[in-house]
């Protein structure tokens, strides 16, 4: 049952992103008014844009770019959450990073805001291979990352979105921290093989050092400040700490998490890997 009323408005931050765009569409399909916020209308680095975003809304889906582990994220989440509650926001749902110590610090700002809160933690999105920085490497046939043989519980963004929308629109999720994973662990070589099978392409995983990864990102034009943050994040997070499964997707949605092979087949059917 949907508890959010149709005359209420839900704020979706990062509304052009992988999760935010889908959350906004799901809410719209439910007949709920959505306020989409992304740059330049809303900017985490420009606090003058915050008040307009939270005025007149009842609930908010929070995502932070580039990542909650980056410097300044915890302070921004804390201050924004406080401002939101001061303007009448009753429910906050935060997308967080699984296994990221800095992200836990950022989560505290939502916990202490005074609103009903839910934290949705996830690690590697399956859609990173088709909608983000790993798309071009897949098309080139080589996924180059400083991950070694580590395994990850790749999570389908559609599952993240279904859980987030449930938390935004129904009761029973206040104070919950959901750690979302796919149904099995795969190494990056396994993921490359799954993508290759689904797409009919020759795709392989190439493990590299952190320094080699940073150099390659620089050659591709990634901003230096992002390279430093991402390299540090990958080096620490891709150490096996997330090589375990949870049942939280099924606990919330009443169905198993989508398998990576299902994601790969659907992505291949869109033609995204045909270029």
pLDDT of residue 45: 95
pLDDT of residue 1: 41
pTM of the model: 0.94
Backbone φ and ψ for 126, nearest 5 degrees, come out as -60, -35
Q: Is the pLDDT of residue 133 over 90?
A: no
Angle 18-29/157-169 helices, nearest 10 degrees? 50
Domain 9-122+157-180+243-257 fold: Rossmann fold (3.40.50)
Angle 101-111/73-86 helices, nearest 10 degrees? 10
Angle 224-237/210-219 helices, nearest 10 degrees? 150
| Per-residue pLDDT tens digits for 47-66 | 999 999 999 999 999 999 98
Residue 96's SS3 state is: strand
Residues of the chain with pLDDT > 70, as a percent, come to 98
Residue 149's SS3 state is: coil
Average pLDDT over residues 179-183: 98
**Residues whose CB falls within 8 Å of the CB of residue 225, separated by 6 or more in sequence, listed in order:** none
Q: Is the pLDDT of residue 4 over 70?
A: no
* 126 close to 95: Cβ distance less than 8 angstroms: no
Query: Quick one: pLDDT band at residue 224, thresholds 50, 70, 90?
Result: confident
| Per-residue pLDDT tens digits for 54-108 | 999 999 999 999 889 888 999 999 999 999 999 999 999 999 999 999 999 999 9
Question: How far is it, in rounded angstroms, from Cα 19 to Cα 69?
Answer: 18
* 94 close to 119: Cβ distance less than 8 angstroms: yes
Average pLDDT over residues 142-169: 96
pLDDT of residue 6: 63
């Amino acid at each position: 049952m949907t508890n959010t009323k149709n005359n209420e408005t839900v704020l979706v931050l990062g509304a052009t992103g992988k999760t935010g765009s889908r959350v906004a569409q799901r809410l719209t399909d439910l007949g709920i008014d959505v306020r989409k916020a992304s740059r330049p209308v809303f900017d985490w680095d420009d606090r003058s844009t915050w008040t307009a975003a939270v005025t007149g809304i009842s609930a908010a889906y929070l995502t932070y770019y580039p990542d909650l582990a980056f410097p300044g994220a915890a302070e921004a989440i804390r201050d924004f959450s406080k401002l939101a509650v001061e303007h009448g926001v009753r429910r906050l749902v935060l997308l967080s990073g699984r296994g990221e110590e800095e992200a836990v610090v950022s989560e505290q700002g939502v916990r202490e805001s005074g609103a009903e809160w839910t934290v949705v933690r996830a690690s590697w999105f399956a859609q990173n291979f088709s909608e983000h920085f790993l798309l071009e490497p897949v098309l080139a046939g080589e996924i180059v990352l400083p991950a070694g043989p580590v395994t990850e519980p790749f999570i389908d963004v559609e599952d993240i979105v279904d859980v987030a929308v449930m938390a935004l629109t129904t009761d029973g999720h206040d104070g919950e921290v959901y750690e979302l994973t796919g149904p099995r662990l795969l190494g990056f070589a396994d993921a490359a093989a799954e993508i290759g099978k689904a797409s009919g392409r020759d795709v392989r995983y190439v493990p590299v050092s952190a320094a080699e990864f940073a150099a390659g990102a620089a050659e591709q034009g990634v901003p230096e400040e992002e390279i430093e943050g991402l390299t540090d994040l990958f080096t620490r997070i891709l150490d096996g700490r997330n090589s375990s499964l949870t049942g939280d997707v099924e606990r919330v949605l009443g169905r198993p998490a989508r398998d990576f092979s299902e994601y790969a087949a659907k992505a291949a059917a869109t033609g995204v890997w045909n270029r």
